[in-house]
Structure 1
Amino acid sequence: MNNNINVSLADSVLSKTLSRAVKASPDKIWLKTNSSNLTFSEVDKLSNRLANAFVELNVKKHDAVLAMMPDSTDFIVAWCALSKIGALEVPVNTAYNGQLLTHLINDSQAKIMICHADFLPRLIEVKSKLEHLTNIILVDSDKKIDLENDIGDAFQVTLFHDCYKASEADLMTDVGGEELISIVYTSGTTGPSKGVMTTQRHAYRYACTIIEALELNKQDVVYTCGMPLFHVAGKWGACYATLIMGATLAIPDKFSLSSFWQDVKDFRATTSLLPGVVASLLYSQPEHKNDANSTLVKGCMVPLIPEFEQFKARFGMRISMAYGSTECGAPMVHPMNIPVTDRRSVGRLKSDLYEVAIVDGQDKELSAGEIGEIVVRSNEPWIMMLGYWNRPEATRKAWRNLWFHSGDAGFKDEEGNYFFVDRINDCIRRRGENVSSSEVEGIIIGHPDILECAVYPVPSELTEDEIMVAIVLKPDTRLAAEELIEYLQGKMPYFMVPRFVQFTQDLPKTATGKVKKKELSDIGVVESTWDCVAAGIKIKR
């Protein structure tokens, strides 16, 4: 590891990392958007203002503060401000609505939320079901919201940009590397989303692994590539990594595949975290003689697409791979200079920081080449999750036998290389998002015409999975697939809406009544399956 970034536990705190960057390069641009730039010093001063304003709003150390914001400099400044107070950022997926949004807000027990005007209608819609939230810090620079008519007495409202008028004085809150920085909700397994309790050191170490994977240096410009800042890959892997290294982060005002290469040119981006689905779509575009002539020369692709070698050659890029999760950090890296013999490779273990084993259903370690569950534990304190927020039983289950159970299937070879094979449980990976099949089923079964359903993954042409649902209707009812999709669009995020719908007379089950989802997944899409894409229906975002 780069010794310049291998700091002590006490120094691996976001606010101290920002202070070091300001001291080293106060006037260097840290954050670039299509319309504005902010230097390290400017972010420090603005985050001081926000931190002082938040304190005036009675935000205290260890308080949970929700943040539902689009990717922006404001989001990052708010993140830095909350760390200066020692408050816990609770980032909210901006696609959440209805039942999922209500669960996350209530489970966090947060009383205050930073919310962009674009998402406020979703809050108003579920207001009657919210148990703790009373205060909104409204991001509304374009004045889209009529406070009296649109909000009324639903919440106490403070305007976010008025908070920038507060004092620039430094706060003296003492925050340690072992203390929490955030609660990050993830649908990593079955059931409702769980809040992962992450420490300052956890976030710092995750970012350091991405620095290694990207071979990041202070001259680099990291393009976020649509990796949202409410995800740890965006917030820690891209944003925090650039802060630690004194590099620059490029955030498009709105990411789209059609503007990818123009953004790279405008920002002079040199590297990026590349989701497999984005890489696949880029590769599928018509070839151009200048494909290899951009400033983008390296990236970390997760997962590797089948054509990754051709991708490297065509676009003149060096590619690395890594394995990690919100819960366990990033324990494995496949560097750019090591040839890839199997696209499932996630590289070698960072043995100074982690231990990894491949185990069977009884947690017995398996031999090289045998597929089992990937389990992880740390050799350094505070670099993995402390547990699931308000979920002691789920924490105990995940940490049984002193190993964190990832829910991922994998194997290692005789040389100590690790390989990711698939998810073990009912989690579906779609377009960079973890989707709990039970959460999708819980919403679908609310339709009055549906007797039972099963949600499961089928292969996607863009890597990862597509979502398919098999449905049994109640007797004497009729339901068109188009009607079901319309029903679901207002009740779940766009990435959870199934692409494929299969109506059936019954579901295959075990002797104990459990649906055989593996059997359904193996059957997959057949001639009678309805396809949302083929039907020309565009899911609303």
Structure 2
Amino acid sequence: MNETLRQLVERRAATNGADVFLMFGEEVITFAELKTQIDARAAALLRHGIRPGDRVGLMLPTVPEHIYLFFALAWLDAIVVPISVHLKALGIRTQLASARPRFIIADGGFVELAHALSEDARVEGVLWRGETPDGDPRFKALADIMAQGGLVPPHAAGGLERRCMVSYTSGTTGEPKGAVLSERWFQIGAKNAGLLAEVRPGDVLFLWEPFFHVAGWMTVLMSLQHGVRVGMVERFSASQCWDQMRRYGATQFHYLGGAMNLLLKQPERPDDGDNPVRIAWGAAAPTQSWKAFEQRFGVSIREGYGITEAGNFTMLNHDGPLGSIGKPVEEFDAFIADEAGNQIADGTVGEIVLRPKEPGITMLEYLGNPEKTAEVLRDGCVFSGDLGYRDAEGQFYFSGRKKDALRRRGENVSAWEVERVINAHPTVEESAVIGVPSEMGEQDIKAFVRAAPDVAVAPADILAWCKQHLAYYQVPRFIEIVTDFPRGPTQRIRKTELPLSTAGSWDAETAREGSDSAR
């Protein structure tokens, strides 16, 4: 993969200009139109003052405009900083303090961003798509900038090694970390995703992922690499998903996290197997749902494994055993290590370690965090923080997360972030957050809460507080009030000793169902 993102778009526009690139609702966009739209935005953003190396936040929904702006920033050698559209003001401030973007481009409906920016003077300007909030001279309308036009910038010198994105992984432990990714990371990641999905001429890729998740960009790049079309929706809907894929004629469906179980939980229909999808590809397919999904919907599951720090997909299971994450892709070797980093025998659970065969294909660093970078990138390898084992045939298996991390609804969730919000509640003295098994195949969030002296804690109040300050996927489902925690010699909470059982815990789902039935 020796083309830059710009060269890839330009080649596809030249060779397949009249072919459909994207279907979004009633919109149909060709590869030639894609380039025209990108050129216009690159010219306008250059005129507005965005320069090579600038970090630019993008907080936009899954719409064509988001794609145009992502590539327009690549034209300028600028660095994209995706911001989750679900974050509230506190989470946005945390990310902005780390990424320090010079500019932000956002949807006018995201009032939480406007609130967050009121306390952040480091951002020089914000371009709003649609309605522009009042009250800040830095706020400009994107449409006004576009109307001013400008000249399409020449090819920049950054190349495949240039810093393309700072992707916030939502953290594994502690504060979220921004993984700095190159254009080469994206190109190789999409190449391996295409191998996993077995993309071939005439395929249609279904895209539902938000663009603050790198999976969405993999689908876009797979389309450009293979010259196939994309059918895109703004958000995932379990009840509408199959009908949407039928309408687009989608042949590939990407599953993330609990999406597979969400679809299995939908009422069965006589036409479940009557769909155009050939391959369902992704990661974290619940083993118990794998065959049921294939049989009900008439598709083939293709499971893989990857982490942002190493590559989008670093292992692929095309025809291996059920539950396996497969074998390493051609760019990586892999082994299982003990606590000292030494390779251990097959069949033994340890940390999954990935060794790139060439430089520059993993993340470059955690932005502004050399200590955490050195923990993950060391001895020429990427230490994943995930547990797993390898069998005698060389197939790898995922066994869980090594550190204090949660995986919910396709997103990594930092327990530290959730605890910080809960601890800010006036009735809370201390909290601890863990992941517990979920019926959806990943994890639910359980929060243990210790009350401040001489006050009472109400779980419903903690839930409402979390909904106000956290993204929906960060909000705990279970809340348990405790008088103290198991602790180590330094008084640090021993989370491994906190009970995973939810019996007796306050359950937000049960509380909501009770409230609904009482109406």
- Tell whether the structures are fold-level matches, with TM greater than 0.5: yes
Aligned to 2:112: 122
- Give the aligned residue type for 2:85: T
1:533 partnered with 2:509: yes
1:464 partnered with 2:442: yes
Aligned to 1:409: 387
Deviates more, 1:269-278 or 1:50-59: 269-278
Aligned to 1:241: 222
1:84 partnered with 2:75: yes
Contact kept, 8 Å, 1:30 with 1:247, in 2: the verdict is yes
Contact kept, 8 Å, 1:507 with 1:515, in 2: the verdict is yes
1:185 partnered with 2:164: no
Contact kept, 8 Å, 1:187 with 1:427, in 2: the verdict is no
Deviates more, 1:205-214 or 1:156-165: 156-165
- Give the aligned residue type for 1:265: R
Aligned to 2:293: 311
Query: CA offsets per residue over residues 310-351 of structure 1, 9 Å max, x none?
Result: 21111110110110111100210011xx1423x2x100112x
Alpha-carbon separation, structure 2, partners of 1:212 and 1:161: 42
For residue 394 of structure 1, the aligned residue among 372, 378, 381 is 372
Alpha-carbon separation, structure 2, partners of 1:51 and 1:169: 6
SS at structure 1 position matched to 2:325:
strand
Aligned to 1:481: 459
- CA separation of 1:297 and 1:477: change in aligned 2, threshold 3 A: same
1:157 partnered with 2:140: yes
Equivalent residues in 2 for 1:514-533 (5 A)?
A: 514-522=492-500, 524-527=501-504, 529-533=505-509
SS at structure 2 position matched to 1:470:
strand
Structure 2 residue runs without a partner (length 5+) = 515-519
Q: CA deviation at 1:416?
A: 0.8
SS at structure 2 position matched to 1:506:
coil
SS at structure 1 position matched to 2:258:
helix
Contact kept, 8 Å, 2:22 with 2:230, in 1: the verdict is yes
SS at structure 2 position matched to 1:535:
helix
Aligned to 1:15: 6
Alpha-carbon separation, structure 2, partners of 1:521 and 1:163: 55
SS at structure 2 position matched to 1:397:
helix
Aligned to 1:435: 413
Query: CA offsets per residue over residues 272-300 of structure 1, 9 Å max, x none?
Result: 11124111121122322221111112111
SS at structure 2 position matched to 1:454:
strand
Equivalent residues in 2 for 1:48-197 (5 A)?
A: 48-119=39-110, 121-140=111-130, 145=131, 147=132, 150-160=133-143, 162-163=145-146, 166-167=149-150, 169=152, 171-197=154-180
Alpha-carbon separation, structure 2, partners of 1:53 and 1:22: 21
Contact kept, 8 Å, 1:188 with 1:436, in 2: the verdict is yes
For residue 447 of structure 1, the aligned residue among 410, 417, 425 is 425
- Give the aligned residue type for 1:504: V
Q: CA deviation at 1:112?
A: 0.7
For residue 42 of structure 1, the aligned residue among 16, 21, 33 is 33
Alpha-carbon separation, structure 2, partners of 1:325 and 1:283: 26
Alpha-carbon separation, structure 2, partners of 1:493 and 1:380: 37
1:347 partnered with 2:310: no
Query: CA offsets per residue over residues 445-491 of structure 1, 9 Å max, x none?
Result: 11121111110011000011000001111222012111111112121
- Give the aligned residue type for 1:384: T
Number of residues paired by the alignment? 513
Contact kept, 8 Å, 1:139 with 1:161, in 2: the verdict is no
For residue 265 of structure 1, the aligned residue among 222, 246, 270 is 246
- Give the aligned residue type for 1:322: G
Equivalent residues in 2 for 1:207-246 (5 A)?
A: 207-224=190-207, 226-236=208-218, 238-246=219-227
Alpha-carbon separation, structure 2, partners of 1:15 and 1:163: 20
Contact kept, 8 Å, 1:33 with 1:251, in 2: the verdict is yes
Alpha-carbon separation, structure 2, partners of 1:280 and 1:43: 35
SS at structure 1 position matched to 2:396:
strand
Q: CA deviation at 1:161?
A: 6.7
Alpha-carbon separation, structure 2, partners of 1:126 and 1:275: 29
Query: CA offsets per residue over residues 208-251 of structure 1, 9 Å max, x none?
Result: 11100000123111112x32111111112x11111111111111
SS at structure 1 position matched to 2:326:
strand
Contact kept, 8 Å, 2:388 with 2:399, in 1: the verdict is yes
Q: CA deviation at 1:393?
A: 1.3
- CA separation of 1:533 and 1:154: change in aligned 2, threshold 3 A: farther
- CA separation of 1:471 and 1:308: change in aligned 2, threshold 3 A: same
Alpha-carbon separation, structure 1, partners of 2:204 and 2:196: 15
Alpha-carbon separation, structure 1, partners of 2:422 and 2:310: 31
- Give the aligned residue type for 1:536: R
Q: CA deviation at 1:398?
A: 1.5
For residue 361 of structure 2, the aligned residue among 383, 398, 404 is 383
Aligned to 1:30: 21
Q: CA deviation at 1:48?
A: 0.5
- CA separation of 1:364 and 1:183: change in aligned 2, threshold 3 A: same
Contact kept, 8 Å, 1:50 with 1:164, in 2: the verdict is no
Q: CA deviation at 1:521?
A: 4.1
Alpha-carbon separation, structure 2, partners of 1:403 and 1:381: 11
Aligned to 1:201: 184
Q: CA deviation at 1:392?
A: 1.1
Q: CA deviation at 1:167?
A: 4.5
- Give the aligned residue type for 2:335: A
Alpha-carbon separation, structure 1, partners of 2:51 and 2:414: 33
SS at structure 1 position matched to 2:127:
strand
Contact kept, 8 Å, 1:184 with 1:198, in 2: the verdict is yes
Q: CA deviation at 1:123?
A: 2.1
1:333 partnered with 2:316: yes
Structure 1 residue runs without a partner (length 5+) = 1-6
Contact kept, 8 Å, 1:279 with 1:301, in 2: the verdict is no
Q: CA deviation at 1:131?
A: 3.9
- CA separation of 1:161 and 1:294: change in aligned 2, threshold 3 A: farther
Q: CA deviation at 1:537?
A: 7.2
Q: CA deviation at 1:155?
A: 2.1
- Give the aligned residue type for 1:421: S
Q: CA deviation at 1:73?
A: 0.5
Alpha-carbon separation, structure 2, partners of 1:301 and 1:325: 12
- CA separation of 1:367 and 1:57: change in aligned 2, threshold 3 A: same
Contact kept, 8 Å, 1:127 with 1:154, in 2: the verdict is no
SS at structure 2 position matched to 1:129:
coil
- CA separation of 1:288 and 1:537: change in aligned 2, threshold 3 A: closer
